[in-house]
Amino acid sequence: MSLFASILGRLPKANAVNEAGGLAYQLEPKHALAQVAATGTFNNAFYSTAESQLDEVLKLIDTVDDNQYLAKLALYAREKAFMKDMPAALLVALSVRDTELMHRVFDRVVDNGRVLRTVFQMIRSGQFKNKAGKSRVGLSSSVQRAFQRWLNTASVGKLLSASIGNDPSLRDILRMARPTPKDNARRAMFGWLTDKSIDKWAPATEADLPVEVQSLIAYRKSESEEAQALIAGGLDIVRWDLLSDAARGPKVWAVLARKMGPQALRMNLNTLLRHDVLATSAMVDYVADRIADKTEIQRSKQFPYQYFAAYLNADDNVPQKIKTALHKAAEIACGNVPELPGPVVIGLDTSGSMSSPVTGNRGRGATSKMRCIDVAALFAAAILRRNPASVVIPFDTSAYDVKIDPNDSILSIAQRLAKYGGGGTDCSLPLVVANQKYARRKFAGMVLVSDNESWVGTGRHGSTGVMTAWEAFSSNQRKLSRKAAPPKLINIDLQPYQTVQACERTDIMNIGGFSDAVFNVISAFLADNNQRFVAEVEAIEL
- C-alpha to C-alpha distance for 464 and 214, rounded to whole angstroms: 65
Host H or E run for residue 26: strand 23-26
Q: Under 8 Å CB-to-CB from 502, ≥6 apart: which residues?
A: 25, 464, 466, 467, 470, 489, 491, 508, 510
User: Residue 2: its pLDDT value, please?
Assistant: 43
Q: What is the mean pLDDT of residues 320-343?
A: 89
Question: Is pLDDT above 60 for 383?
Answer: yes
Average pLDDT rounded to a whole number, residues 156-169:
90
Can you list the pairs that 479-486 forms with residues at least 24 positions away whose Cβ atoms lie under 8 Å?
Answer: 480/440, 480/441, 480/442, 481/442, 484/442, 485/341, 485/444, 485/528
533 φ/ψ sector (left φ>0, alpha ψ -120 to 50, else beta): alpha
- DSSP-derived secondary structure letter, 301: T
Q: Do 504 and 510 meet the contact criterion of CB atoms below 8 Å apart?
A: yes
Strand partners, 391: 345
Q: 3-state class of 489 per DSSP?
A: strand
Q: How confident is the model at residue 496, as a pLDDT?
A: 61
* Residue 282: partners with Cβ closer than 8 Å, 6 or more residues away: none
Q: Quick check: 177 pLDDT over 80?
A: yes
* pLDDT at residue 212 is higher than 70: yes
Q: Please report the pLDDT score of residue 46 as a whole number.
A: 46
Q: How confident is the model at residue 87 (pLDDT cuts 50, 70, 90)?
A: very high
pLDDT-derived band at 460 (thresholds 50, 70, 90) equals: low
Q: Which pLDDT score is estimated for 537?
A: 84
Q: What is the helix (H) or strand (E) element at residue 429, kind and residue range?
A: helix 429-437
What is the rounded average pLDDT of the residues 102-109? 96
Q: Picking from 43-52, 190-199, 308-317, which range would have the lowest pLDDT averaged per residue?
A: 43-52
Q: Compute φ and ψ for 490, nearest 5 degrees.
A: -120, 120
pLDDT bracket for residue 74 (50, 70, 90): very high
pLDDT at 134 over 90: no
- Alpha carbon distance 323, 327 (integer Å): 7
The CA–CA distances, whole Å, from 45 to 12, 42, 49, 257, 495 equal 29, 9, 6, 34, 8
Q: Report residue 125: phi and psi, to 5°.
A: -70, -25
> Is the Cβ–Cβ distance between 496 and 53 less than 8 Å?
yes
Domain boundaries, the chain: 66-178, 260-336, 342-362+369-539
Cα(38)–Cα(111) distance, rounded to whole angstroms? 17
Average pLDDT of the residues in 475-499: 81
Per-residue burial over 399-417, b if 16 or more Cβ lie within 10 Å, else e, is: bbeeebebeebbbebbbbb
* End-to-end alpha carbon distance in the chain: 49
Alpha-carbon span 476 to 474, nearest angstrom: 5
Confidence class for position 362, pLDDT limits 50, 70, 90:
low
**Among 125, 195, 126, residue whose Cα is nearest residue 167:** 125
Task: Kindly report the pTM of this predicted structure.
Answer: 0.73
Q: What's the pLDDT band for 356 if we cut at 50, 70, 90?
A: confident
Per-residue pLDDT of 59-69, as tens digits, reads 888 999 999 99
Spacing of C-alpha 450 from chain mean position: 16
Please tell me what DSSP assigns to residue 440.
T
Instruction: Check if the beta carbon of residue 165 is closer than 8 Å to that of residue 114.
Output: yes
Q: Are 434 and 390 contacting, i.e. CB atoms less than 8 angstroms apart?
A: no
pLDDT band at 497 (very low <50, low <70, confident <90, very high): low
Residues 406, 412, 417, CA angle at the centre, nearest 5°? 80
Question: Taking 80 as the threshold, does the pLDDT of residue 203 lie above it?
Answer: yes
* Mean pLDDT, rounded, for 166-194: 93
Q: In this predicted model, which residue has the larger pLDDT, 459 or 26?
A: 26
Cα–chain-centroid distance for residue 333? 17
342-362+369-539 in CATH: which number? 3.40.50.410
pLDDT on residue 40: 63
- pLDDT category of residue 3 using cuts at 50, 70 and 90: very low
Report the pLDDT averaged over residues 378-383: 85
For 156-161, what is the mean pLDDT? 92
